[in-house]
Amino acid sequence: MADARLQPVLDPHALARELSGKLLIGGRLVPARSGRTFDVVNPAKGDVIGQAAFGEAADVEAAVTAAAEAQKAWARVPARQRGKLVAECGRVLQDHVEELARLITLETGKALRTESRIEAGVLSDSFVYYGGLAPELKGETVPLLPTTLNFTFREPIGVVGAIIPWNVPLLLMALKIAPALVAGNAVVVKSAEEAPFTVLRVCQILSQILPPGLFNMLSGYGPECGAPLVAHPKVGKVTFTGSVETGKIVYKTAAEKLIPVTLELGGKSPMIVMGDAELDKAVDGAVVGMRFTRQGQSCTAASRIFVHDSVHDAFVAKLKAKVDAMVMGDPMDEKTDIGAIVSCAQFTRVQDYIRLGRETSGATAHVCSRLPDDPSLAKGLFVQPVIFTGLTNDSRLAREEIFGPVTCVIRFTDYEDVIAQANDTEYGLAATIWTRDLKIAMDAIHRLEAGLVQVNQNMVVQPNISYGGIKASGLGKEASLEAMLEHFTHKKSAIINMA
Ligand code: NAI
Ligand code: MG
């Protein structure tokens, strides 16, 4: 059996060519019904690496039909058995970590060593983790009369539509499809325009283990492919990660159908550095928190760093030195820390924000690291990280999600004032505070308006830690047991009268 399985392909160009023009529907790689495709570009070099299939409503119809059919049998497979198969997916994906890391590097421009390998590893871990949670799909009994039994249990929803973005597609896909499958659902995944091939490869690998049609993968644009998926009458749940703007469109369509949604949207996460903080640790935390290794393309990016007046200048100097020492270059190169921005649209957007910051009176742009001088990268979408000082919390750079390597360091003197400023945002995804004072830390944990508050660390999402925002950052939680139970099942109540 194992011999018949797909072997890892370490040449990502070959893999991109092989996967070109294909969707995965009913367990098979097929072209879009229309035969249309669109180019996928390597942002580090500007070359076209392949053509993704242009999925549209007819493909959505085929994928959802296949999913609905497969789901009926899957729901009858005992939960433990489903879990075993999903965990097996995780183990097989482990053999493909290097392959997937190279392919995601090629299509998104993220650095292989600092980003892609880690993400591919978490993909595999998430399947193993959720597979093991299958026995937790259990209900409750409610005390009634001695002759009456009221109990609850968990039923799958049916077909789940999962729409993912390009910044961490493997991790985000895993957090959606692994719990959905374990809970007994079938899934149709819609990948982001910028990053279709790695997601398709994962689905191809999974289709060796799981029944055909149980999950299906569509590539295509939002309005032509994502929108009909959300609107499809047989899709009973949508889980989406992306922009606030698109999240609202998804939510409106779901409201028409009265189906549940999970929305993981943007952020403008505050990081507060108190005067007593261990400064070097806080600086390291800012580098991780800002995801400079991911060109800042993270919804949790610590893009508003409030630093106490007494340590502000030292913090900025240390942060600048750290980011200066990071190597920007060919994402495939093991020496590279920082890769390229994913697309021309994002590149322009980030440059526009940097220009706006520079034009703001009182602001200083501390430009870090160096653009690569390798001529093969001349057309690459590289942006030097910028640390802005002298901006206030009401500037557009401190209010809007930039999704690039740009952060604002804002000086403060008063704790009450900094809590108010940190909360003065439409977002509420994540926050951190850096202090040695436990009383302050505990107070801030309670008062910061965010789905996740961390003290003296800036850890990246893990499959077992509940994750999701409040305010405009979204609805519902991903990761953890709670996400599987609350977001991918219905709770049914049953009452038996034995009198
Ligand atoms: P987007 O929200 O438009 O795209 C995310 C996904 O939604 C993609 O798969 C896209 O094809 C799909 N989509 C787009 N329109 C749709 C529609 N009408 N119906 C259903 N699906 C649709 O985000 P985009 O354009 O890639 O990036 C724009 C900004 O969004 C970024 O600059 C960033 O600020 C934010 N963003 C936030 C992310 C996060 O992790 N929360 C991830 C990606 C982007
Ligand atoms: Mg968009």
Q: What is the pLDDT of residue 459?
A: 84
Pocket test for ligand 1, best of 170, 175, 246 (most atoms within 8 A of CB): 246
Q: What's the pLDDT tens digit per position in 449-479?
A: 999 999 999 987 889 999 999 999 999 999 9
The finding on whether 242 has its CB within 6 A of some atom of ligand 1 is yes
Query: CA angle, corner 255, sides to 254 and 260, nearest 5?
Result: 60
Are 413 and 434 in contact by the 8 Å Cβ rule? The answer is no
Looking at the CA of 252, which ligand is closest?
Answer: 1
Residue identified by tokens 């830390």 is 441
- Whether residue 166 has pLDDT greater than 90: yes
What does the pLDDT look like over 95-137, one tens digit per residue?
Answer: 999 999 999 999 999 999 999 999 999 999 999 999 999 999 9
Q: Would you say residue 404 has pLDDT above 50?
A: yes
pLDDT of residue 202: 98
Q: Is pLDDT of 178 > 70?
A: yes
pLDDT attached to residue 107: 98
Whose tokens are 């600048």? That residue is: 320
How far is 264 from 476, CA to CA, in rounded Å? 8
Percent of the chain with pLDDT over 70: 99
The mean pLDDT of the chain is: 97
Q: Among residues 99, 107, 119, 478, which one is catalytic?
A: 478
Contacts of 260 (CB under 8 A, 6+ apart): 157, 237, 238, 254, 487
Ligand 1 within 6 A of 165 CB?
A: yes
pLDDT of residue 411: 98
- Among 203, 225, 299, 368, the one annotated catalytic: 299
pLDDT of amino acid 460: 79
Q: What is the mean pLDDT of residues 237-259?
A: 98
Domains of the chain and CATH, by start = 2-265+473-494 (3.40.605.10), 270-463 (3.40.309.10)
3-state secondary structure of 152: strand
6: burial class by Cβ within 10 Å (0-12, 13-18, 19+)?
middle
Q: Side by side, which strands form the sheet with 364-367?
A: 364-367, 386-389, 406-412, 304-308, 270-273, 430-434, 452-455
Does residue 1 carry a pLDDT above 50?
no
Q: How confident is the model at residue 2 (pLDDT cuts 50, 70, 90)?
A: very low
**Band (485; pLDDT cuts 50, 70, 90):** very high
Position 282 scores a pLDDT of 98
- Place 246 in a pLDDT band, splitting at 50, 70 and 90: very high
**478 included as an active-site residue:** yes
| Bridging pattern class, strands 148-156 and 141-142 | antiparallel
Q: Which listed residue (56, 193, 264, 449) is catalytic? A: 264
Residue 264 has pLDDT above 90, yes or no: yes
- Of the pLDDT bands very low, low, confident and very high (cuts 50, 70, 90), residue 236 is very high
454 lines ligand 1 (CB under 6 A): no
The closest residue, in CA terms, to atom 30 on ligand 1 is 243
Q: What is the pLDDT of residue 222?
A: 98
Q: In what order do the strands lie in the sheet with 215-218?
A: 28-30, 23-25, 215-218, 186-190, 159-163, 235-241, 261-264, 474-475
Task: Please report which confidence band the pLDDT of residue 5 belongs to, taking 50, 70 and 90 as the band edges.
Answer: confident
pLDDT in tens, 412-426: 999 999 999 999 999
Q: In sequence order, what are the beta bridge partners of 406? A: 386
Residue 144 near residue 489 (C-beta atoms within 8 A):
no
Q: Which ligand is nearest to the CA of 226?
A: 1
Task: Say if residues 219 and 191 touch (Cβ distance below 8 Å).
Answer: yes
pLDDT at 3 over 60: no
Indicate whether residue 268 lines ligand 1 (CB < 6 A): no
What is the per-residue pLDDT across 352-391, written as a single tens digit (0 to 9) for each? 999 999 999 999 999 999 999 999 999 999 999 999 999 9
CA nearest ligand 1 atom 10, residue: 222
Residue 347: pLDDT band with limits 50, 70, 90: very high
The strands making up 489-497's β-sheet, listed across from edge to edge, are: 141-142, 148-156, 489-497
Q: How far apart are CA 116 and CA 209, in angstroms?
A: 24
Instruction: Please work out whether the CB of residue 403 comes within 6 Å of at least one atom of ligand 1.
Output: yes
Backbone angles phi, psi at 83, to 5 degrees: -60, -40
Share of the chain above pLDDT 90, in %: 98
Q: What angle do CA 386, 388, 389 make, to 5 degrees?
A: 150
Up-side HSE of residue 470: CA atoms within 13 Å toward CB? 11
| 246 C-alpha to ligand 2 centroid (Å) | 7
Specify the pLDDT at position 461: 80
> What's the mean pLDDT in 303-321?
98
Q: Is the full-model pTM beyond 0.95?
A: yes
* CA–CA–CA angle 415, 421, 427 (5° rounding): 135
b/e map of 450-462 (b: 16 or more CB within 10 Å)? bbbbbbeebebbe
